[in-house]
């Protein structure tokens, strides 16, 4: 395959704990920008996951199947992002932004990633304005305190989270 006809591969990495409507929005839109989009489900030592890696992989795969996107696949990884992207043949890292605080963190990460591999570009997509407040961390917190998470995740993910909260127990007094 020549350089000009090579498929453009993108990686959208994240913990997806759980996958939210904001993630799904970025996936749908990102899938239009590349020939193949790989959703990289990873671990993050600084986060306390509600779901195991295998559970998150299954959850994301189910959500992708429901979106009927033929050019998207889900892969688990536990490595440096740029090494994972290179191994996948990616030329693009896709990142979603919700707010200025996201930009500051992502800007720093993009700069570090460019130092590691300057042949892979980072592309930022702004979350849909109606989805900007949604964060997996907040979804888990709302669920743990007995709040309604249905506006932030799909019906199936809502059931997954509620089942897990039932297993680990709710927080709070009210």
Residues labelled catalytic: 23, 47, 98, 136
Task: State the Cα–Cα distance between residues 76 and 15, nearest whole angstrom.
Answer: 10
Task: State the Cα–Cα distance between residues 93 and 82, nearest whole angstrom.
Answer: 9
> Do 8 and 34 meet the contact criterion of CB atoms below 8 Å apart?
yes
**Residue 104 C-beta-side C-alpha neighbours within 13 Å:** 3
Please choose, from the candidates 100, 39, 45, 36, the residue with its C-alpha nearest in 3D space to the C-alpha of residue 64: 39
């Amino acid at each position: 395959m020549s350089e000009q006809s090579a498929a453009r591969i993108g990686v959208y990495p994240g913990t997806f704990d759980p996958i939210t409507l904001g993630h799904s929005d970025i996936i749908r839109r990102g899938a239009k920008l590349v020939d193949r989009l790989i959703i990289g489900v990873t671990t993050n030592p600084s986060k306390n996951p509600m779901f195991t890696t295998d559970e998150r992989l299954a959850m994301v795969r189910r959500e992708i199947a429901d979106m009927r996107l033929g050019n998207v696949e889900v892969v688990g990884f536990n490595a440096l992002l740029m090494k994972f992207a290179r191994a996948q043949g990616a030329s693009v890292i896709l990142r979603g932004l919700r707010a200025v605080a996201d930009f500051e963190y992502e800007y720093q990460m993009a700069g570090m990633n460019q130092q590691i591999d300057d042949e892979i570009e980072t592309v930022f997509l702004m979350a849909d304005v109606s989805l900007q407040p949604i964060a997996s961390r907040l979804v888990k917190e709302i669920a743990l305190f007995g709040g309604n998470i249905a506006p932030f995740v799909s019906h199936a993910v809502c059931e997954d989270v509620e089942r897990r909260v039932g297993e680990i127990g709710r927080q709070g007094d009210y």
